[in-house]
Amino acid sequence: MNRRKFLTMLGSAGVVSALASTTAPKEAKASHIFPYYPESYGVLHDTTRCVGCRSCEQACNEVNSLPKPNKPFDDLSVCNTKRRTSATEWTVVNKYKMNGKDVFRKLQCFHCQDPACASACFAKCFQKQPDGSVTYDGTQCVGCRYCMIACPFYVPGFEYNEAWDPLVKKCTFCKPRLDKGQLPGCVEACPMDALTFGRRTDLIKAARKRITENPDKYLDYIYGEHDAGGTAWMVLAPANPKGPKVPPENPVLAGPEMKQLGLDTHLGNQPMGELTYGALGTVPMIVAFWPVLFGGAYAMTKRREAMHKEEQEKTVRQAREDVAKAVDAVVRTIQETEGEGAADRARKAMAEALKARGEAGKHGEGA
């Protein structure tokens, strides 16, 4: 086994150990399933009730003291464009054509059970709170905007206009109001009760009840119950009165319907973060463990080399001594039998022969 082979083996051992550590936390995370906070709150958005009046947008703007928009809130033409939430508009209502009928949907942070933004943020700015809200604390934010890339709903907005310390802004679930025992601004303002606030578990029951009581009215799918690992804000969509009935709770068959409402049912029922937690979780492990591993390997190699060298030198020394002793013995014998001159010649010839051999073998000096 030479040095290269040895190092290759060590390296592969290191990779295996790293892989083992990526899979190990996953098994340990068996308790890492939603809902994490069974008492958490949510909001059910019933799009069959929404008329697109933008009262929620106005209320959001007022309770959060956001800047006045260019177009007033009673201008309903803006609903026709597919707007996105931004740093100054934390919620928007868009109009969608669903099987030929106008359906309005409110867009805002879905407050995921296991938020992808939090999983992507290395500064730990995002946190899922026990009340259901996903909060953002900008004190450590470095402005990398990984959260905006991670969010499957394209929700967080960035203060591009801010020169100093731009932050990420998004719906806060009106956390300050919740803490005071008030409803979120948009929920309170909705004139149709298209937004129902309550415990998430109760909302799912309420949604099921509405679907059961009006099977022809609702699509039998609660968007957000399992999508992206479950969200605190959930959406009910109207059924297609003309088309065939979509079987209950089927994300594949409900997909084309939900897509018309701008909702993606292909996010899977696994939290987005779970896809990256394993890989990202190993980073500290690698940082801490790999230097020790490779440092140790290096030290071991060095020590082996030193030992090898010492042994080799010892062998060489012994061989030399043996040769010198043999030469001495031979020369002494010649001296006794054939006299001083012959001994001198023999010694010289042997020294030359050894020297020549040593030069050929690279490790011989003159005896």
Partner 1 sequence: MRNRTKMLLLTAIALVGAACLMFREPEGISAAHAPELTDSGAQPAMVLFPVSDKPSRGVSGMKPVVFNHKLHEGKVQECESCHHTGDPVPCTTCHTVEGKAEGNFVTLERAMHASNIAPRKDGRTPQSCVSCHRKVYTERLECAGCHSIVKPTENDDWCAVCHADLPSLTREQWQAGIQGKLSPAENVAIASSTIASKKPHEYLEGSRTRYRVTLDTLKDKYEANVFNHARHIVSLQRKIANDPLANAFHSSSSILCQTCHHHEPATTQPSKCVSCHTPTIDRAHPERPSLKAAYHLQCMGCHDGMEVKRPRNTDCTGCHRLRTVQQEETK
CA distance 284 to 296: 19
Q: Give one word for 362, left, alpha or beta, with left for phi > 0 and alpha for psi -120 to 50.
A: left
Cβ proximity to partner 1, 212 vs 315, nearer residue: 212
Cβ proximity to partner 1, 206 vs 346, nearer residue: 206
Do 106 and 91 form a contact (C-beta atoms < 8 A)?
A: yes
Closest CA to 14 of 301, 298, 285, 294: 294
CA distance 340 to 282: 79
Closest CA to 106 of 96, 119, 116: 96
Closest CA to 228 of 157, 152, 117, 280: 152
Instruction: Kindly report whether the peptide bond that precedes residue 35 is cis, defined as omega within 30 degrees of 0.
Output: yes
Cβ proximity to partner 1, 133 vs 196, nearer residue: 196
Shortest CB 120 distance to partner 1, Å: 34
Shortest CB 69 distance to partner 1, Å: 17
CA distance 26 to 39: 25
Shortest CB 181 distance to partner 1, Å: 10
Closest CA to 37 of 177, 230, 213: 230
Shortest CB 30 distance to partner 1, Å: 34
Cβ proximity to partner 1, 206 vs 286, nearer residue: 206
Shortest CB 42 distance to partner 1, Å: 12
Cβ proximity to partner 1, 53 vs 125, nearer residue: 53
Question: Is 308 exposed, middle or buried (CB count within 10 Å of its CB: 0-12, 13-18, 19+)?
Answer: exposed
Cβ proximity to partner 1, 95 vs 226, nearer residue: 95
CA distance 225 to 234: 7
Interface positions with partner 1 (CB under 8 A)? 49, 51-53, 76, 183, 190-193, 196-198, 202, 206, 209, 213-217, 241, 244-245
Shortest CB 215 distance to partner 1, Å: 8
Cβ proximity to partner 1, 209 vs 357, nearer residue: 209
Cβ proximity to partner 1, 196 vs 231, nearer residue: 196
DSSP 3-state assignment of 115? coil
Cβ proximity to partner 1, 53 vs 60, nearer residue: 53
DSSP 3-state assignment of 233? strand
Shortest CB 96 distance to partner 1, Å: 16
Shortest CB 104 distance to partner 1, Å: 10
Cα dihedral 119, 45, 67, 78 sign? positive
Shortest CB 137 distance to partner 1, Å: 30
DSSP 3-state assignment of 171? coil
